[in-house]
Amino acid sequence: MRMIFVRHGHPNYRQDCLTELGHLHAKAAAERLCEEKIEMIYSSTCGRAFETAEHIAELQENREIVPCDYMREISWGSDTEELFQKGHPWFTVDQMVRDGQSLQDVDWAEKFPFLPNHLCTESVKRVCDGFDGLMASLGYVREGEFYRVTEPKYKTVAVVSHGGASSAMLARLFNLPFPFLCTAICPNYTAVTIVNMKENIGELVAPQFELVNDARHIKGLNAEACFGK
Protein backbone atom coordinates (compact mmCIF):
# COMPACT_ATOMS: atom_id res chain seq x y z
CA MET A 1 0.00 0.00 0.00
CA ARG A 2 1.11 3.51 -0.76
CA MET A 3 0.08 6.39 1.49
CA ILE A 4 0.28 9.87 0.00
CA PHE A 5 0.41 12.60 2.65
CA VAL A 6 -0.56 16.10 1.46
CA ARG A 7 -0.56 19.34 3.41
CA HIS A 8 -3.35 21.84 2.68
CA GLY A 9 -2.91 24.85 0.39
CA HIS A 10 -2.35 28.47 1.45
CA PRO A 11 -5.00 29.14 4.13
CA ASN A 12 -7.14 31.83 5.61
CA TYR A 13 -6.72 30.60 9.18
CA ARG A 14 -9.31 32.95 10.61
CA GLN A 15 -12.06 31.63 8.35
CA ASP A 16 -10.53 28.13 8.08
CA CYS A 17 -10.62 27.93 4.31
CA LEU A 18 -8.29 28.18 1.35
CA THR A 19 -7.37 31.56 -0.03
CA GLU A 20 -7.44 32.21 -3.76
CA LEU A 21 -3.78 31.29 -3.81
CA GLY A 22 -4.55 28.20 -1.75
CA HIS A 23 -7.00 26.98 -4.39
CA LEU A 24 -4.26 27.36 -6.99
CA HIS A 25 -1.97 25.32 -4.75
CA ALA A 26 -4.62 22.62 -4.34
CA LYS A 27 -5.34 22.46 -8.06
CA ALA A 28 -1.63 22.12 -8.78
CA ALA A 29 -1.36 19.30 -6.24
CA ALA A 30 -4.39 17.56 -7.73
CA GLU A 31 -2.82 17.73 -11.18
CA ARG A 32 0.46 16.46 -9.73
CA LEU A 33 -1.40 13.44 -8.30
CA CYS A 34 -3.85 12.82 -11.13
CA GLU A 35 -2.04 9.68 -12.35
CA GLU A 36 -1.61 8.14 -8.90
CA LYS A 37 -4.86 6.10 -9.04
CA ILE A 38 -5.88 7.06 -5.52
CA GLU A 39 -8.63 4.76 -4.26
CA MET A 40 -9.64 6.58 -1.07
CA ILE A 41 -8.99 10.02 0.39
CA TYR A 42 -8.84 10.68 4.13
CA SER A 43 -8.96 14.30 5.22
CA SER A 44 -8.85 16.46 8.29
CA THR A 45 -12.22 18.08 8.92
CA CYS A 46 -10.63 21.54 9.02
CA GLY A 47 -11.92 23.53 6.06
CA ARG A 48 -8.53 24.33 4.57
CA ALA A 49 -7.61 20.63 4.42
CA PHE A 50 -11.02 19.40 3.25
CA GLU A 51 -11.12 21.95 0.43
CA THR A 52 -7.68 20.75 -0.66
CA ALA A 53 -8.94 17.17 -0.59
CA GLU A 54 -11.91 18.15 -2.75
CA HIS A 55 -9.59 19.37 -5.50
CA ILE A 56 -7.73 16.06 -5.38
CA ALA A 57 -10.96 14.04 -5.39
CA GLU A 58 -12.25 15.92 -8.44
CA LEU A 59 -9.34 14.64 -10.55
CA GLN A 60 -9.59 11.15 -9.06
CA GLU A 61 -13.01 10.30 -10.52
CA ASN A 62 -14.60 12.07 -7.54
CA ARG A 63 -13.28 9.54 -5.06
CA GLU A 64 -14.89 9.44 -1.65
CA ILE A 65 -13.40 11.73 1.00
CA VAL A 66 -13.53 10.28 4.50
CA PRO A 67 -13.58 13.10 7.11
CA CYS A 68 -11.30 12.40 10.09
CA ASP A 69 -11.62 14.65 13.14
CA TYR A 70 -8.44 13.29 14.71
CA MET A 71 -6.43 14.69 11.77
CA ARG A 72 -7.34 18.27 12.69
CA GLU A 73 -4.28 20.44 13.28
CA ILE A 74 -2.63 20.03 16.64
CA SER A 75 -3.34 22.53 19.37
CA TRP A 76 -0.59 24.30 21.29
CA GLY A 77 -0.19 26.63 24.17
CA SER A 78 0.80 26.85 27.79
CA ASP A 79 0.37 29.28 30.65
CA THR A 80 4.00 28.64 31.64
CA GLU A 81 5.69 31.90 30.71
CA GLU A 82 9.16 30.33 30.64
CA LEU A 83 8.22 28.26 27.62
CA PHE A 84 9.32 29.60 24.26
CA GLN A 85 6.46 31.47 22.59
CA LYS A 86 4.18 30.03 25.30
CA GLY A 87 4.56 26.48 24.05
CA HIS A 88 4.39 26.87 20.27
CA PRO A 89 5.92 23.51 19.21
CA TRP A 90 7.82 24.71 16.13
CA PHE A 91 9.33 27.72 17.89
CA THR A 92 10.10 25.45 20.84
CA VAL A 93 11.98 23.00 18.61
CA ASP A 94 13.90 25.88 17.00
CA GLN A 95 14.97 27.01 20.46
CA MET A 96 15.95 23.45 21.42
CA VAL A 97 18.25 23.36 18.39
CA ARG A 98 19.81 26.70 19.33
CA ASP A 99 20.38 25.38 22.84
CA GLY A 100 21.94 22.15 21.55
CA GLN A 101 19.19 19.93 22.99
CA SER A 102 18.62 16.53 21.40
CA LEU A 103 15.52 16.10 19.21
CA GLN A 104 15.88 12.30 19.31
CA ASP A 105 14.62 11.71 22.85
CA VAL A 106 11.73 9.22 22.66
CA ASP A 107 10.48 10.53 26.01
CA TRP A 108 10.20 14.10 24.72
CA ALA A 109 6.60 14.51 25.91
CA GLU A 110 7.61 13.81 29.52
CA LYS A 111 10.37 16.39 29.73
CA PHE A 112 10.90 20.13 29.58
CA PRO A 113 10.18 22.08 27.46
CA PHE A 114 7.19 19.97 26.39
CA LEU A 115 6.06 18.59 29.72
CA PRO A 116 4.06 21.71 30.74
CA ASN A 117 2.70 22.10 27.20
CA HIS A 118 -0.32 19.86 27.67
CA LEU A 119 -2.22 21.07 24.62
CA CYS A 120 0.56 20.04 22.24
CA THR A 121 1.31 16.66 23.77
CA GLU A 122 -2.35 15.72 24.17
CA SER A 123 -3.24 16.63 20.60
CA VAL A 124 -0.21 14.77 19.20
CA LYS A 125 -1.45 11.70 21.09
CA ARG A 126 -4.94 12.25 19.67
CA VAL A 127 -3.56 12.26 16.13
CA CYS A 128 -1.40 9.18 16.72
CA ASP A 129 -4.19 7.17 18.35
CA GLY A 130 -6.57 8.01 15.52
CA PHE A 131 -3.94 7.19 12.92
CA ASP A 132 -3.38 3.74 14.49
CA GLY A 133 -7.10 3.16 14.02
CA LEU A 134 -6.90 4.20 10.38
CA MET A 135 -3.95 1.88 9.77
CA ALA A 136 -5.85 -1.02 11.33
CA SER A 137 -8.85 -0.33 9.10
CA LEU A 138 -6.51 -0.43 6.10
CA GLY A 139 -5.12 -3.82 7.10
CA TYR A 140 -2.06 -2.83 9.17
CA VAL A 141 -2.36 -3.47 12.90
CA ARG A 142 0.19 -1.85 15.20
CA GLU A 143 2.36 -4.29 17.18
CA GLY A 144 5.14 -2.64 19.15
CA GLU A 145 7.13 -0.54 16.69
CA PHE A 146 5.82 -2.25 13.54
CA TYR A 147 2.63 -3.24 11.74
CA ARG A 148 1.13 -6.70 11.33
CA VAL A 149 -0.34 -7.07 7.84
CA THR A 150 -3.84 -8.53 8.05
CA GLU A 151 -5.63 -7.78 4.79
CA PRO A 152 -4.53 -4.69 2.84
CA LYS A 153 -7.61 -2.83 1.67
CA TYR A 154 -6.23 -0.43 -0.95
CA LYS A 155 -3.18 -0.01 -3.16
CA THR A 156 -3.04 3.80 -2.85
CA VAL A 157 -4.69 6.21 -0.41
CA ALA A 158 -4.27 9.93 0.19
CA VAL A 159 -4.14 11.61 3.60
CA VAL A 160 -4.77 15.37 3.52
CA SER A 161 -4.03 17.30 6.70
CA HIS A 162 -1.63 19.84 8.21
CA GLY A 163 2.01 20.48 9.00
CA GLY A 164 1.71 19.44 12.64
CA ALA A 165 -0.80 16.60 12.21
CA SER A 166 1.15 15.04 9.34
CA SER A 167 4.38 15.32 11.36
CA ALA A 168 2.66 13.46 14.20
CA MET A 169 1.43 10.71 11.86
CA LEU A 170 4.82 10.27 10.23
CA ALA A 171 6.50 10.26 13.64
CA ARG A 172 4.17 7.42 14.65
CA LEU A 173 4.77 5.47 11.44
CA PHE A 174 8.55 5.66 11.67
CA ASN A 175 8.92 5.61 15.47
CA LEU A 176 10.59 9.00 15.49
CA PRO A 177 10.17 11.72 18.13
CA PHE A 178 7.68 14.39 17.14
CA PRO A 179 10.16 17.27 17.78
CA PHE A 180 12.55 15.71 15.27
CA LEU A 181 9.84 15.58 12.59
CA CYS A 182 8.96 19.22 13.27
CA THR A 183 12.36 20.28 11.99
CA ALA A 184 13.24 17.40 9.62
CA ILE A 185 10.01 17.66 7.62
CA CYS A 186 8.48 21.12 7.66
CA PRO A 187 6.08 20.81 4.70
CA ASN A 188 5.35 23.64 2.30
CA TYR A 189 1.76 24.14 1.16
CA THR A 190 0.47 20.98 -0.56
CA ALA A 191 3.85 19.28 -0.15
CA VAL A 192 3.64 15.56 -0.97
CA THR A 193 5.21 12.77 1.06
CA ILE A 194 4.73 9.16 -0.06
CA VAL A 195 5.19 6.11 2.16
CA ASN A 196 5.19 2.48 1.04
CA MET A 197 3.93 -0.39 3.20
CA LYS A 198 4.71 -3.96 2.17
CA GLU A 199 1.71 -6.26 1.72
CA ASN A 200 3.11 -9.53 3.09
CA ILE A 201 0.01 -10.88 4.84
CA GLY A 202 0.69 -12.15 8.34
CA GLU A 203 4.12 -10.54 8.63
CA LEU A 204 5.36 -7.56 10.60
CA VAL A 205 6.42 -4.76 8.25
CA ALA A 206 8.02 -1.33 8.51
CA PRO A 207 7.22 1.72 6.35
CA GLN A 208 9.56 3.00 3.66
CA PHE A 209 9.81 6.55 2.31
CA GLU A 210 9.31 6.85 -1.44
CA LEU A 211 9.18 10.65 -1.59
CA VAL A 212 9.55 13.33 1.07
CA ASN A 213 8.20 16.88 1.16
CA ASP A 214 7.87 17.43 -2.61
CA ALA A 215 6.33 20.83 -3.39
CA ARG A 216 7.76 21.38 -6.86
CA HIS A 217 4.25 21.54 -8.32
CA ILE A 218 3.65 24.96 -6.67
CA LYS A 219 6.93 26.49 -7.80
CA GLY A 220 6.18 30.10 -8.69
CA LEU A 221 2.71 29.98 -7.11
CA ASN A 222 3.15 32.71 -4.52
CA ALA A 223 1.16 35.86 -3.85
CA GLU A 224 3.63 38.17 -5.56
CA ALA A 225 3.84 36.10 -8.73
CA CYS A 226 0.12 35.35 -9.00
CA PHE A 227 -1.55 38.52 -7.80
CA GLY A 228 1.16 41.18 -7.73
CA LYS A 229 0.93 41.49 -3.95
Over the stretch 91-144, which tens digit does the pLDDT of each residue have?
889 888 999 999 999 999 998 888 776 788 999 999 999 999 999 999 999 999
- Give the Cα separation of 168 and 90 in Å (integer): 13
Query: pLDDT tens, 46-62?
Result: 999 999 999 999 999 98
Q: What is residue 77's predicted lDDT score, i.e. its pLDDT? A: 74
**Residue 137 and residue 187 in contact, taking contact as beta carbons nearer than 8 Å:** no
The confidence band for 89, taking pLDDT boundaries of 50, 70 and 90, is confident
Please, which residues bridge with residue 85 across strands? none
- CA-CA distances (angstroms) from residue 142 to 52, 130, 131, 158, 180? 29, 12, 10, 20, 21
For residue 172, which of 137, 134, 145 has the smallest C-alpha distance? 145
Between CA 162 and CA 27, with CA 20 as vertex, the angle to 5 degrees is 65
- Give the Cα separation of 131 and 207 in Å (integer): 14
Instruction: State the pTM of this model.
Output: 0.93
- Give the Cα separation of 172 and 3 in Å (integer): 14
Query: pLDDT tens, 152-209?
Result: 999 999 999 999 999 999 999 999 999 999 999 989 999 999 999 999 999 999 999 9
